[in-house]
Amino acid sequence: MEDEIRLLMRTIHYHEGNQEILKGVDFELRKGEIHALVGEHRCGKSTLMHLLVGEKRLQKGEILFNGRRIQPQDPSDAYRLGIAMVHQTPQVIPSLNAVENIFATRLPPFWSGLPQYYRYIRETRRLLALLGKEFDVLIPLKLLPATDQQAVDIARALSYDPDILILDEISNRQTPEELERLFAILKDMTSKGKSIIYVTPHIDEIFSIADRVTVLKNGYRQSTEDVHQISSLRLFRLAYSLISEIEPDESAISHPLISSRLYSEHFLRELPVGIILLNETHSVYYLNPAAESILDLPAHDVSGRPIHTVITPEQCPHATALLSAVYHGKKRKWRGVPFGKALYSEVHIYPLREGDELVGTVIMIEDRSLDHHIKEYLSSTERRIATAEVAAEVAHEINNPLGIISAYIEVLKLQDLSPEISRKLEKIQNEITRIQNFVSSLGRLADASRMEWGTVDLVEMVKDVLLLFQHLFQEKRITVYTDLPETPVKIEGDAGRLKQLLINLVLNSVEALLHGGWIRIRLERKEGKIVLSVSDNGHGIPKEIQDRIFRPFFSTKAGKQSTGLGLAICEHIAKLHGGEIGFTSTPGEITTFTVTFPARPVLSPPGKVGYHRPDE
């Protein structure tokens, strides 16, 4: 068994000032294995590796390499021993090219060793090709993206052909394809007897690549386990404080929320909200796919970069204030700001502290563009239709007396009148005709926004509207129930206005619910009619205003965007289609709006669809 041990670190202690970081840690690495090292932030993972490569001085304990005691004084000592490390942040010199960075201390003088220099160029290209990279190896690294700079850092470690290769939390700057290629290289190395220490916070990577895993916690070695003999949940419980505090009841442990949502790396990846995690130096530690989409930047290009190089005034007009909050550890919130591709977003800054010390920052970006667009659309549509309806009402009310006056003039003209009186009556009638033509143009405004009259499937319409509100339902944690026929329910009508009717009713229900609650939409054929109902368990409609809610411009909402026309428009659209709208409401319990359409087709002659009074 001892022949299989490549590295043994015994009773390792390390402190900085009064803070004890490592408290008697033991670590063992076998030949030909990939050994993962996992634990919470600041648990001592990186410190243990820095001691191994001589970047920190061992204070207490011993390190045995191939059975021989060692104590590297610096990274050069470690390289000579056959130990190489790739750090969280690429350790490259930006002004040098790839060849100079990889073989920095091994290059001959340029002119005297030109043939040998070409050999190093070829070797650089070979190493980078293993990592799937192909670029000009003679240009300064500062001209290359971050992912290429990291490839140079990894290639430098590989160039030493080390017996032990340490990879310290590098996957955040790798694309899935790059990570898969790197894993293949690691597997090939272990097949040749090399050993890998893979430091990572990502549990899923451990099960993809590692043979064994050691958990560090609060400066102690918590456990060392064979990966194939431990479950991901068990590993979570060992590694992270929050889950380890859960009582080990099997039913609780197996709860899907714990195992697959709360503690899985997939949680952040699947969030529809952009998340940027910064470390204590305000550099990007993690970027989820939603944030990548909003910023239009791949995670591997921004990982490790200072946040001020990622969030710029071009990305966000409030960049200066936002960065100030980050650097000063302030909790802040902005609403309605452009951010990257999001034209209307909500941005939150959450500093993370351990005691008085700032250890990181969470930047949350929620793209509210769709919600804003919907509200703007609804508000503008209500105003547009309201203007049209008012114009039609005005036209009708003015035309009535004008028609009566015009009729009296015709009667007067039948009498024997003087030429002077006849000329005056003719002039009056011409002016009345002019006014009637003008008023008629106002009436035509009511038809300006109409869509084509045709067949509408109400089942599909309900599904479309629910899809439109899906994000809002999720945000307010509203449960939506539907009771829809399996077959199409079709009526003749204006698809745009029918959809507007349902949007207004659903929006009313959403606004009646503070957080949580339910909305139920039902569509059924009943007694020769088609009935569409929208119910909710929101605050309801007080009895004292129930007789006024369909009046134009009546509203109980204080918001500036509320026109008080939503339900009035619903009533008008229902009547336009030969239907009726009504409601029942028990305040604090259930409110239901019901729209009843005739089952028979409502056919209107071409060009005659538009505003009309119910009594006409």
Name the CATH topology of 1-82+164-171+194-268.
Rossmann fold (3.40.50)
Bridge partners for 39 per DSSP: 216
What is the average per-residue pLDDT within 9-15?
A: 91
CA atoms within 13 A on the CB side of 337: 20
Neighbours of 260 (CB within 10 A): 13
Please give the structure tokens belonging to residue 148.
């290429």
Q: What percent of the chain has pLDDT over 90?
A: 33
Please tell me which residue, 391 or 550, carries the higher pLDDT value.
550
Q: Which CATH class is domain 371-447?
A: mainly alpha
The span from the CA of 215 to the CA of 225, in Å, is 9
Q: Is the pLDDT of residue 185 over 90?
A: yes
Residue 447 has pLDDT above 60, yes or no: no
Query: What is d(CA 551, CA 567) in angstroms, rounded to the nearest whole number?
Result: 8
How confident is the model at residue 165, as a pLDDT?
97
The band of 614, judged by pLDDT with boundaries at 50, 70 and 90, is: very low
pTM: 0.46
Per-residue pLDDT tens over the stretch 462-503 = 998 898 788 788 888 899 999 999 999 999 888 878 888 998
Q: List Cα–Cα distances, 585 to 119, 372, 591, in angstroms.
A: 84, 29, 4
H-run or E-run covering 118: helix 114-130
Q: Could you tell me the two tokens for 466?
A: 């629910």
Give me the pLDDT at residue 616, please.
Answer: 36
Rounded-to-10 torsion of CA 176, 179, 185, 186: -130
Domain ranges of the chain: 1-82+164-171+194-268, 271-367, 371-447, 453-598
CATH, range 271-367: 3.30.450.20
CA distance 395 to 436: 8
13's enclosing H/E stretch is strand 5-16
What's the pLDDT band for 554 if we cut at 50, 70, 90? low
Answer yes or no: is pLDDT of 322 > 60.
yes
**Structure tokens of 504?**
């207004």
Answer for the pair 64, 12: CB distance below 8 angstroms, yes or no: no
Task: Assess contact for 171 and 38: CB atoms under 8 A.
Answer: no
Sign of CA dihedral 80, 84, 88, 91: positive
Overall fold of domain 453-598:
Heat Shock Protein 90 (3.30.565)
What pLDDT does 416 receive? 79
Per residue in 60-85, pLDDT (tens digit) is 999 999 989 999 999 999 999 999 99
Q: 313 is written with which tokens? A: 């005034």
